[in-house]
Structure formats: structure tokens, C-alpha cells
Structure 1
Amino acid sequence: MIAHLKHPSISPEEYLAGEEKSQIRHEYIDGQVYAMSGGSDSHNTIAGNLFAQMRGHVRGGRCRVFMENMKAYIPALNYYYPDVMVTCDDRDRSSSHSKSHPCLIVEVLSDSTEAFDRGDKFADYRQLESLQEYVLINQKRHQVECFRRNEEGRWVLYSYNQNESIQLASLDFQISMEALYEDVDFTVSDAANGLSQQSAEP
């Protein structure tokens, strides 16, 4: 979880310089640096299944799919590491370490980060004018929530449950629940994936 203890704030430039040399990933939130802990078996399997299906779908086109190690940059705000992110914007090709114009962002939920993913992080992501869909995937049961921006700029929730196919309009892409959760064992209890605040010098 995110610790309440605060360290002296650092600049985005200091964060980026430190992140290039760091052996572990950190997210940058309101001037504070947070270490990313390792994900559970289910978390990584779900993200990997989605990435593999999406990578095949966009292959040869202008869209690029990234998994876990690519930062999403919210200008003048924060840097996050989405579990899966897609950008089809040519402006993102000029940056090799972060993307500022994604059309789709996906987070696999865990106990320690769910409230943040639904709250402040989603509020930050909504600042991205290019973002069309924000997807939250439950790793404990067959449940996917897709928040889609409509023509009026409002976010509409589309929920998907067991035996349904998830439709992602931003990529004209669909994936079945069976394929998304392939090899996921819901009977295994894994340590929750989360964030822990580290020194302001990453």
C-alpha cells in the first residue's frame, strides 16, 4: 500500500534520471516516489494474456501495445506504469520511456491498489484527452469493468462477467473471458500487488 510518510518532493526531471538507473520500477505521484512491488501469479497471467491477444490484433498497424514497463505520463502531474497500455498516436513514437497519448489503459486490480486505481489514478488518467477507455480487471473472479468516454466526454461503465466477451471499441477488439483468464487458478491465494513508498532518491 501507499505509505502515509512523506519524503521531500522531487522534480519530474529528478525522478526520470533516477528511474533510468534504478533496478526496480517507481511511480511518481505528486512529487513523491513509490516503489512497485511484484505482482501475483494471477495478476501477471491476466496482463500477459491480454497483451498477447492485443499484440496480435494490432500487429502491422499504427498502434503499439505495452505491458508493465512503459510509463504513462499525465502532463504536469504524474508518471504511472499501467499493466497494459495502447497508443495509436504518432506523437508517442518520439518518446521511448513514456507515452502521453494512449487510447486505452488497463489495470489489473489488487486489494492494496484497487481504491487508488478507481479513484485518484482514474482521475489523473481522465486528464489525457486521447484516452478513450479505462479497463479494470478483477483477478479473483471473472469480472471486467470498462469505462468508455462517450461523444459528450462522459465516462460510461460497461461491465462484463463470466461467459461474456469483452468489447474494446478503441481498438475494435474483443476477447473472451476464457482467453483473458486462461491458466488463472482462483483457488490460489497470492500476496496482493501494491505500492510502497521509498526514498525520494529512486
Structure 2
Amino acid sequence: MTAAKHIELMSVEDYLAREELALEKSEYLGGYVYAMAGARNAHNLVATRLLVELSKRLEGGPCSAWNSDTKVRVRTNGYTYLYYPDASVVCDPNPGADVYHDRPVLVAEVLSPSTRRSDEGEKRIIYSQLPSMKLYLLLEQDECRVTVYRRTAEAFDLEAYSGLDSVIPLPELGIELPLEPLYRGIENA
């Protein structure tokens, strides 16, 4: 019988130093590092359009939309997680020298076959540990459909929006988000 192999967990500091020089992004989950897969054009188009629409609607206010190069850090139950969401909205930003934000109000992920399970499960649960987090959006990439998890006093309520004429009310940010600009011209939208 052989002894179990000891796995050395990476520190947050080592991960951040490594990530600064890396050619490919990785996410940090409590000491484990996972490489991120590349995305399809449909995924990137929806994510880019989302970022543009959020930025336009938030302009001049206290909140800003951030792209997928900005990590969100979650510290919970003695563990640290660092994710690269497709988009986020932050109203209380970290200092400019940081490479992550700790207090997003909204986090959005565009679903793909390789990330769906993680985005709908693990990430949703981890992100919900952030006291600042009010909204978690899951956007389909091939059809006009968005699932919204909205924080209430007790939990997160689930809402679904579909069709080009749908508009997501985001009173937490003082804006609305129409789906038509996100999905215009996309197959099955």
C-alpha cells in the first residue's frame, strides 16, 4: 500500500504573483488553482455587450462596471476565492493598485457548456457570501435568456427573463437592463 500524495496548496500571495506574469488566466479556490478555458465568440459578444450596456447606464453615478480582467475576491469560512467574472458592478471600489474587488454589487457570468455547472452552483454559492452582493446574473450565450438571483432580506430570489423585448429592473443600481442590445443578431435570440 502506498501513502497518499500530499498536495501543497498555493498561498494567495503566490497565486497573485504568478497570475501577474501568466499568459493565461487561472482562478483561485481556497489554495487550488484552476486554469480557465477559452470562450466562444458568442460568449464574448454577450459579455462585451453586457459590459457596454452596464457602463452606459451607470455613467455619472457612484458605481462602475468592470470587465473580465478584474477579479472578485471572496473570503469566507477561512478560505479565499478569486474569480474572474465576465462582468461586475462595484460601487465601493478597492484601491487602484489592487487587482481585485471585494465588494461587488452585481456579478454576471455568461454560461457556456464548460462553466455552467460551476457558474450555477459553486460560484453562485460563494458569491452569495459577499455582504455587498445584491445581484447575480447568469446569461445564456446562444439564446436570449437571463437568470437573475436577487438578494432579499431572507435569501436570493430567482427571476427569469427571456425575449428581446424583456427588460431587467435593477433598482439596486438605479437602472434597467434591456435584453435586446445584448442579444441582437444572436442565433436563437
Please confirm whether the aligned pair reaches a TM-score higher than 0.5, indicating the same fold. yes
Distance 2:31 2:187 in 1: 38
Of residues 61, 82, 104, the one that matches 1:102 is 104
Gaps of 5+ in 2: 1-5
Distance 1:186 1:41, change over 3 A: farther
Cα RMSD (Å) of the superposition? 1.8
Change beyond 3 A, Cα 1:114–1:7: farther
The CA distance in 1 between the partners of 2:11 and 2:140, in whole Å, is 34
Deviations 1:38-84 (A, max 9, x none): 21111111111111111112223221211110000002321000000
Deviation at 1:114, TM superposition (A): 0.8
Q: Which has the higher contact order (CA 8 A, sep 6+)?
A: 1
TM-score, scaled to structure 1: 0.83
Asked if 1:58 is matched to 2:58, the reply is: yes
CA distance in 1: counterparts of 2:22 and 2:188, whole angstroms: 33
Cα distance, 1:142 vs. partner?
1.4
Gaps of 5+ in 1: 1-5, 188-202
Aligned-residue identity in percent: 33
Match of 2:37 in 1: 37
Q: How does 1:6-85 map to 2 (within 5 A)?
A: 8-75=8-75, 76-85=79-88
Look up the match of 1:113: 115
Superposed displacement of residue 36, structure 1: 1.5
- The CA deviation string for residues 13-39 of structure 1, in whole angstroms up to 9 with x for no partner, is 110010111111110113111111221
Q: Secondary structure at the match of 1:105?
A: strand
Deviations 1:90-143 (A, max 9, x none): 5x2355300000000000001111111111111110110000000001112111
Is 2:168 the counterpart of 1:166?
Answer: yes
- Cα distance in structure 2, aligned partners of 1:29 and 1:184: 33
The answer as to whether partners of 2:105 and 2:132 remain within 8 angstroms in 1 is yes
- What CA distance in whole angstroms lies between the structure 2 residues aligned with 1:153 and 1:130? 15
The match for 2:155 is: 154
Secondary structure of 2:161's match?
A: strand
Corresponding position of 2:177: 175
Quick one: distance in 1 between partners of 2:34 and 2:92? 28
Q: Is the 8 A contact 2:29 2:82 kept in 1?
A: yes
Letter in 2 for 1:122: R
- How many residues get paired? 180
| Structure 2 counterpart SS, 1:33 | strand
Residue 46 of structure 1 contacts residue 182 of structure 1 at CA under 8 Å; is this kept in 2? no
What corresponds to 1:87 in structure 2? Answer: 90
8 Å CA contact 2:142–2:186 kept in 1: the answer is no
